Structure 1
């Protein structure tokens, strides 16, 4: 049997199905490469941020050492000033590092949840495309479409609730850290 349209050449059903299945397979392969590249980018970002913090640590350490050397040559008053400066600098740096670490962890958790949700949705769409390509007739296509739309609506609702709960929890945790001395 062949399927026809007045504006298109006649294409045998099996050839059309084979083209559709091949296209879905190529799309799935392309997505797998995209997902892998995304994960590599996320890992590179985390590595870069880690190296940035290491740089901050070394700068703070060298500043402390320089201050220590300079103040060693002064009298007891300078020593007290150095100790106060070091304590204030340590508190400032520790607060900065703590806040930055928590912010990055929160960003990573939200980003991870968004990536997982996106990945789930794309894979569901590719699976749906495969089922459509293998459908026997228009009735089966319509049934698959209705089922897919219902599943997708549930999936998106669950993902949005999860993302809302996650961001709310992270905001509450940040507020508690801000309020605690």
Structure 2
């Protein structure tokens, strides 16, 4: 249904509407990115609390073992020392592995968030530029340029993520071999 009685919006009005829409999208994304940062910080805090809980559990187990074996004869004292030594090695290995795992997860998560943020911001910048174009030729050139840049950007990000995960896996394997 075409109504020819309605006035057509001017190019300036269409451009202004598009720029306003892009500005609102950018503002919404900023809030989203901030919420994502808060979620990541909350995750890290909860993992740190869980880790502290495991440390307390492991420590209380050691204390219980000490109390039990103290009441035994001298031969049990040697067994207790061996038990404590093995428990300490196990606890230290757990603590070391957990901290390395958390570091690796944080590094990968951070790189993915940075890549995502970079891509969204580039898309918003592109939308702003597109909204201010005045002719189809300029619009097409802008789109081609954006697609080329985005293609390079995503390739670089995938390569970076692959190199990071490979490096972290190698470091974990080396730590496992040295034990």
Which TM-score band applies after superposition, normalised by the shorter structure?
Answer: over 0.9
Give the whole-Å Cα distance in 2 for the aligned partners of 1:169 and 1:67: 39
Give the whole-Å Cα distance in 2 for the aligned partners of 1:154 and 1:79: 65
Per-residue deviation at 1:157? 1.1
Bigger RCO (CA 8 Å, 6+ sep): 2
Mean Cα displacement is larger for which, 167-176 or 59-68? 59-68
Give the whole-Å Cα distance in 2 for the aligned partners of 1:77 and 1:26: 75
Identify which of 153, 156, 165 aligns with 1:155: 153
2:153 counterpart SS class? helix
TM-score (norm 1): 0.92
Give the whole-Å Cα distance in 2 for the aligned partners of 1:53 and 1:102: 12
**Which position in structure 2 is the counterpart of 1:125?**
123
1:55 counterpart SS class? helix
Give the whole-Å Cα distance in 2 for the aligned partners of 1:134 and 1:172: 48
Gaps of 5+ in 2: none
Per-residue deviation at 1:11? 2.2
Identify which of 96, 111, 123 aligns with 1:113: 111
Aligned residues: CA RMSD:
1.5
1:11 counterpart SS class? coil
Give the whole-Å Cα distance in 2 for the aligned partners of 1:64 and 1:178: 24
**Which position in structure 2 is the counterpart of 1:169?**
167
Per-residue deviation at 1:176? 0.6
Per-residue deviation at 1:161? 1.1
Identify which of 58, 61, 65 aligns with 1:60: 58
2:9 counterpart SS class? strand
Give the whole-Å Cα distance in 1 for the aligned partners of 2:57 and 2:164: 34
Gaps of 5+ in 1: 1-5
Return the structure number with greater strand share: 1
Mean Cα displacement is larger for which, 117-126 or 154-163? 154-163
Per-residue deviation at 1:7? 8.4
What does 1:139-154 align with in structure 2 at a 5 Å threshold?
139-154=137-152
What does 1:1-181 align with in structure 2 at a 5 Å threshold?
10-181=8-179
For residues 44-76 of structure 1, the C-alpha deviation after alignment (integer angstroms, 9 at most, x for no partner) is 111111111111111111111121122111111
Give the whole-Å Cα distance in 1 for the aligned partners of 2:172 and 2:55: 23
For residues 105-157 of structure 1, the C-alpha deviation after alignment (integer angstroms, 9 at most, x for no partner) is 11111111111010000000000000000011111101111111111111111
